[in-house]
Each structure stands twice: as C-alpha cells, then as structure tokens.
Chains A and B, each alone.
Chain A
Amino acid sequence: MEVIYSGENLLIGNIGHFLVVLAFCSAILSAVAYFFSTNNADDTGWKKLARVSFWVHAIAVIGVFTTLLTLIYGHYFEYQYAWQHSSKSLPWYYMLSCFWEGQEGSFLLWLFWNAVIGILLIFTVKSWESPVLAVICLTQIVLSSMLLGLDVGEIYKIGSSPFSLLREKMALNAPIFRTPDYLKQIVDGKGLNPLLQNYWMVIHPPTLFFGFATSIIPFAFAIAGLWTGKYKEWLKPALPWTLVSVMVLGTGIIMGGFWAYESLSFGGYWAWDPVENASLVPWLLLIATVHLMLIYKSTGTSIILTYLFSIASFMLVLYATFLTRSGILGDSSVHSFTDLGLSGQLMIFMFIFYALPLFAMVKDKRQKLGLNLVYWTVFIANIVIGIVSKNSMHFAILKWIDIVMFAALSFWFIYKLYKTFPASKMEEDFKSRELWMFIGSLFLLLSAFQIILATSFPVINKLFGSNIAAPADAIAYYNFWQMPIAIIIACLTAFGQYFKYKTSNFKMVSFQLIKSFAIAIVLAVGCMFLFKIWDVYYLVLLLAAIYAIVGNVNYIGTTLKGKIKLAGGSIAHIGFGLMLIGILVSSAKKQVISINETVDYGNSMDDKAKRENMLLLKGDTVRMADYLVSYGSDTVIGPNTFYNVHYKGIGNSDEFTLLPNAQINNNQLNANPDTRHYLTHDVYTFVSNVPDKSKQNSEPWGAPKVHQVIIGDTISTPNGNVVFESIDKDAKPQTLRLNHQMLGANLKIINGKHVYKSKPIFGIANDKSLYTIESVVDEAGLKFQFYIKAADAGVAAFIEISERPAIRDFIIMKAIVFPYINLLWGGVIVMVIGFAIAIVKRTKDYRLSLEK
C-alpha cells in the first residue's frame, strides 16, 4: 500500500542530490577538458571550458555543503543524516561537528577543501594549471562519486548520499512509517556522540581534512612533471604548497592529540592508534619530501626520491582513508568503524590513482598500450570477480595476481625513473648539507615505514592469511623503534644546516658545531636535574633534543645574523626539539598519583596488578601524592554529571577544584577528564567508574524493628547510632498542602565520622485518622517510621527502623600528573610558526624566479 507522507520537506534533499550530481558531472567535464588542454597546449578552448566547468563544480560543491548544513541547522529529521547525527538541543558550534561526524560529511569536507585548493591553484600556478588541475579533478570525480548514493541493481550502491531520507535508509515496513504523518512522532534526532561535543572537535576535523586535501598538491605536480615532460620545473611551484600541507596536516594531527588529552579518558594525547598513525605517516613523508625538494633546488640531485616521496605521501593518505573507512581495522582499534559498503569502491580508487604516475610516465606508444591492456584487464577482473564470484579460490588467485602486478609495476616505475634521470650525482662529501638532509629524509622514511607496517597488520592478515596482532604493549613497541630515529633526526637538525650545499669550510663549521654541542651538554645536565631524569637512554634523547634547539638558535644568531625571515626551517627545528622534550618528560615522568595503597590484595592477586584507580567516597578525603583530595558533591547540567573533586596541596597553599564529568545513559559512562594546567605541569583527573544507582536502590529493606523511645534515647543499629533528639510539633513538609497536624521526630544518625539528619512524620488527619510518612537515609542504609500510640503508661513514641546496606555515593577516579607537557604544545606552535615563515619565503622565491 502506498503511503503519502505529509510534512516532509523533499525539496532540500532534491536540491542536494542535484548538486551532488552536478558536482560529479562538472568534475568529469573539467577533468576531460584539462586532459585535452594539457595534451594540446596551444588550444586555449579546452582550458576555457575546463575552467568554467571547474567553477561550476566548485559552486556545486559549496552548494552541497550549504544544503547539508541547512538540513542539520533546520532539524529536518526526515533526512537520515540530520536525524542520525544531530539533535535540537545542540548549540550551533556543535552542529558543525554533526556535519563531520558522519562518513558522508567527512568526504564532503574533503571535497570542499579540494575545490578551494583547485580555485587557489587556478589563480597561482600559471602554466601548470592544466595538468595539475586535471589530477585534482580526478580526485573530485572520485570523492563526489562517494556521495552519489546511486543504486546499481539490487545490492550494489555507488557511494552513500547524505541526502537520503530516514524512511529510505530504514526499512519501509518499520511500524513508524505506516503512518503518513510519522514525522510528528520523531521529536528529536539521535544527537551527536558526546565525545565529539568538544570545542576541539569543531575545528580538528576541518583542519585535518584540509591537510589531507593539500597532500594532493605535490602529488599532482609530480604527475604533471612526468606527464608534460617538464621533469624538474614543477618543484619550484610545488615547494611552498608542500610546506602548506606539512603545516596544516601537522596542526590537524596535534589538534586531534589535544582533543584526546582534553576530552578522552585514556590518559594522554597519543595512543598509537591506527587512526592517529594513518595521519602521521603521510605527514612524515611530506616533511621528507620538503627536504628532498630543497636538496634538488640547490644541487639538482635526489630528484628520483622527490618523485617517489611526493607520490607516496598522497597514496598513503588514500591508504589511510581505506584503512579507517573500510572497516578492515576491526578488532585492532578502539575507534569504532563501520563499513558503509564502500571498501570495494575505495579499492577501485586506489587502483585508479596508482595508475596515474605510471601512465603519466610512459611515453612510448607500444608500452602504453601494453600497460593499458594489462592494468585494466586486471582491474576489470577484480571488479567482476569481486561482485559476481563467491568462490574463495577465485579470490585467492586474484589476490596473488594483484600483488604480483603491483609489485612488478612499482619496480618498473622506479626503473623508468632511473632511466629518465640518469643517476644524478650526489656530492658525497660529508661536509655537504644535502648529504645530511638526504640521510634525515631516509630516517623519516624509516620512521614512517615502521608505523605503517605495524598499523597494517590487519591488512597483512587479510592478504596472507596470517594471524598477527599488534604487540600487547604497543607503546613500548613503537617507542623502541621511534626513539632512536628521533635521536638521529634531532641531531641532524642540530648540525645539518651549518654545512653549505655541495661543500663547506670545515674549520668554520666545526667551531660552531663544537660550540653548540658544548652548550647543549651544559643545558642537558641542568635539565637532567630539573626533570629528574636518570635513565641513560632518555638522557641521550634529551641531549639530542636540546642540541636541536641550541644548534638552531645558534644558527639563527650567527649564520643568519638574526634574520628571522630566512629562519623558517631553523624555527621549525627548534619547535621539533621542544616537542621532543615535552613528549619525553611528560611521558617518562608522568606520574599516576591515584595509587590505591589501602586495598589488601591477599595472596591470590599478583602484586603486579595495577592499582591506578582510587575509590573516593562522597565527603571523604584521601591522600594522593602531595594532595589531599576530596569528592564533595556533583552537579547535573544537561546530560552531564560534574563531579566536584577538590585538591588541596600538602604543605603549600595550592588548592583547586576539578570538575571531571561523565554522561551516563543506558548504564554506559562516557567520562571526560578535567585538567588543572600549570606552567610546569598538569594535574589530569577523570572518573573511571560511578555507582550504578538503579541497581542499588532496588536492594530490599530488612524487617522493621520497633523501638519505644523517649527524647534523648539512642538506638544502636549496625548502620550507626540513632539519637532521638526532639519532636517537631509543626513538621509539615512544604510540598504537602494538607492542613493536618504533623509531628516530626528529629533524628540524628551517627556513623563513624558521618552524621546525617532524618525526620519521619506522624500525621493526624482532620477526621482523626492516623498515618505516617517515612524517611530514608540512603547513605546510612536506614529507613524510619515514627508514630505515637497507646502504651502501658498512657501514650508513647515509637520509632520503627529498617535496614539495608548503606549506599554511599562514590567515584572511582584516576589522577595523573603530566610534567612539562606545555613544552609539547609550545613546541608545536613554534614549529607551525617556522613553517609559516618558510612558506612566505619560498613563495617569494618562486615569485622572483618567475619575474626573472
């Protein structure tokens, strides 16, 4: 039966759909036009067409972006995206987070940044416009296809549209959709994941995606270089953009770390989680790319690696997308991933982009034909078998064909690069700057390789049927490899710049080297005492990091004569050194202060067990390291409960209150930490467990015991002593509007050092009938009734007491002191400033070179 629904606003969705299709088609048109414009440089018609269609594309993308925002801000819950990700009570800035919470929104964000980058490039890259934009348009085709939501046959879907209606996404036979005005029943959306309701979540995703998007620029330029045969000229315009990418991606990554530190309760800013790793690896390679580009610019060498790294950075961004979006990470990550059925599509895109450098490279017609034949045959075989076949044998064969083909093509590509650029002679003088930069780049590559290898275990398992999992102590494993690499890279940044390109006067250099190293040693010894680090390995890292700072400061002072405009690189290096010290000290000297000393573990529990969480009863004070900590009260604001945790320094006037909070729904606790920031350290606190009140209140009361009492009596119970202090003759509760006489018994319950008050009531109604109002003290586990009735000597007062286990409000909390973590954040800021200065300088260089 057809139901005609009422109250839906279908127009917005249709506009959205239309704009997605428009963006998709205009991207295709633009790509094709730019392709022909590249191959027929004289024909300006193609270029005009390409530009116009790119503008149409960009406007369409902005339109899609605005439409989705309208859905969210207008609370159009007939649309699945708005219903799933937002709710009415959210403030406007969190509604932005709703936008990028979903998969479609994050692809859209990427699409949007790419469009912005495309427009910027059209205005700035001059002769490189056609080939570079052609590559960008290709990514735009790919990304916008992810939003098409086009049904192919019954099961297969191209992309997932953010403009699907709720009733399309859910099964139509769901009872709610049987009524035409179902919308009236949908009062509110499901809301935003509480973990994402954080200031940093508003700006971290756009920054990160801008970083991801910019990584296409060196890739596109490298392809353009291979394609047009202007093999080397692309480096100059690409350099400032690559720096932009490094700067933005780096900022995005560290914002994610800061968000984790401020609002996740795993106790730190970095957990070597696959999602973090997947964004870090392209960044490391981009930094290496920048250094290789600089080498090339000054000496004309290392062009092959520059190509490889520029291409690999972007391929790794794609790979990262595949890892995080395809659901393959499954068991290995704490992030929950869902497979929207896009993994097949993502594989296809990786196929397409892998082909780009190869096809741009091969000029020989016969080779090109052969390559086309092989590649696309395998490609189609993959798609056909992937869709049609259910036979695992087919998949196994296909898998090996793919592996062999990609390995062979990679080697062939590198071989072709060598043929194109006959081994450019690197000056192998150890007095040359490029040698040290080259080594540094290789170590960055090693670092990236280790991280991506360990992150790819699930992929390796899937490919080779193996069964490996990340090491149980992942952090130790990563540190084992990354620490020596960090030491080497820090040292390289400290002395590399003193050498000139090609060769330098060693006498001059060696004086500066020795001078800065000597200062570094002195400072390192001082820092050793300041930070109280005694571990030799850590001290080496500390020395290396300090050397990086001193070396670069000295370089700015002596060699650059304080010219900050030229010092972008050095400043970034100083930032790196500061970051290293911050990371080292805050993690090596991090101190969990909530160590539980009181619990008797007996013999059964091994003493290795961690005791890092502390029980804090409401009203109690416990000692944690140099603080007296108490939990006084809690406040409920909206969905959050804020726990008032008070810290008082022992032997000093340090005193502060932290409000770690948690959202409790369906017995699930989402805890957010609260941190007291000092210049030299942070006190970080979060609640790791709270009592389940729904269960406790259902404990049954014991049988009541009746006591005859007179004023001043004390009744002792297992849950404390009850003192009958007085009778309140006018004990009418304010909430009751009955004009009865009510007598209240003023009771004082003394349980250890805790004292509670209670007032059970005895009422006499106007018709002289009697009743009682009980009083419950949950914290003491006591319930009281009070009445007066005839007894041996006239009338007497009676108190009836029931018992059950006491309910004490408590929190289980963990507190960590992170010393000198501000060095990390400060280092990041310095590093970003360094990148910014370098961008300005390299852009100027490029402008000047154009004028020449």
Chain B
Amino acid sequence: MKTINIIILVVIAAAIAIFAGAYTESSTYADFKKAKEDLGQEFHIVGRLNKLKPMVYEPLKNANRFEFYLIDSLGYEAKVIYSEPKPTDFDRSDKVVVIGKFEHKEGDFIATKILLKCPSKYEAENKTK
C-alpha cells in the first residue's frame, strides 16, 4: 500500500473519531426531570428565574455560594447551587442556561457554569414600541 494512502486513512480515521467524540462527549439540552433521572451526568438546562423565591448570595458568609430557583422549559422547578459569586447581571437576565448536574435524588442542582441571556439593547427597543 502506498504511504500516501495510509496517511489519508489515518486522517480519515481521526476525523471519524473526532466526529464520534463530538457525540459521546457532548452534553445535551435537557430539563430538570431528565437530569434527575441521570444522576451525576451534566446537562444544559435552559430556564427562567423564579423571581418570587429568594436568591441567596451572602458574600460576607461565603463568597463562593449562590443559590436561586430556576424553572425549566417544562415548568419544573429546582434549586440551583453555584459555587461562584453571583453573576453580576443576574437580576436583569430573563433567560438562564445552567450547566451542571444533580448528584442525589433529593439534592439540589449543582451548576458549574451559568450563561445569561440578557435582553439585548435591540430587544429593549422593541419593548418600547
């Protein structure tokens, strides 16, 4: 077999591995119910804040703990614990993506990352209409 063909085969194999890896290693968008079924597995959960329930951040006690309640797209609510300071524009955001997992059936959702979707300038303008 020609060297070049071997190289091309190797590259194609690597490409397939990358492709397969993209699926096996990726996370999925889910809801709290699904995350509770697969304990310990990380999910992306899109939801909105429950602003009626308390958001707790007491920097003087613990600067690295923030708790809040999130309602996922199916209306299921869970308490989320985030081991970082409260993201600064958190109060303004209407849509929140939390990345994390449940560790126990009865436990809270442990978020490792939070993405905020703030109403952008452009949307703010639309609202004035």
Contacts and interface: CB of A to CB of B under 8 A. Distances in A.
B59 A691 contact: yes
B125 to A, nearest CB: 6
Nearest to A481: B18
B60 A808 contact: yes
Q: Which of A330, A334, A435, A472 has the most CB of B within 10 A?
A: A472
Interface string B30-67: 10000000000011101000000000010111111100
Contacts of A449: 15, 18
B97 interface: yes
B92 to A, nearest CB: 6
Contacts of B11: 442-443, 445-446
B122 A457 contact: no
A688 B57 CA distance: 13
B71 interface: no
Interface string A257-288: 00000000000000000000000000000000
Given A430-B3, A439-B7, A610-B84, A470 B64 contact: no
B27 A469 contact: yes
B92 A668 contact: yes
Interface string B92-104: 1000010110010
A336 B117 contact: yes
Contacts of B4: 426, 428, 435, 438
Q: Which of A481, A669, A670, A689 has the most CB of B within 10 A?
A: A689
A613 B61 CA distance: 12
A388 interface: no
What range describes how many residues of B lie at the interface?
A: 35 or more
Given A171-B128, A477-B25, 15 more contacts: A331-B97, A331-B115, A435-B3, A442-B11, A445-B11, A446-B14, A446-B15, A469-B44, A472-B44, A472-B112, A599-B64, A610-B64, A668-B89, A670-B88, A689-B86
Contacts of B22: 450, 453-454, 457, 468
A605 B26 contact: no
A471 interface: yes
A392 interface: no
Nearest to A460: B22
18 contacts: A170-B125, A331-B97, A334-B115, A426-B4, A435-B3, A439-B7, A445-B11, A446-B18, A457-B22, A468-B23, A468-B27, A472-B100, A481-B21, A599-B62, A601-B62, A610-B83, A610-B84, A613-B85
A612 interface: yes
Contact of A666 (B25, B63, B92): B92
Given A174-B128, A611-B64, A331 B15 contact: no
A667 B91 contact: yes
A609 interface: yes
A737 interface: no
A84 interface: yes
Contacts of B30: 467
Contacts of B112: 472-473
4 tightest A-B contacts by CB? A669-B88, A472-B42, A609-B83, A469-B44
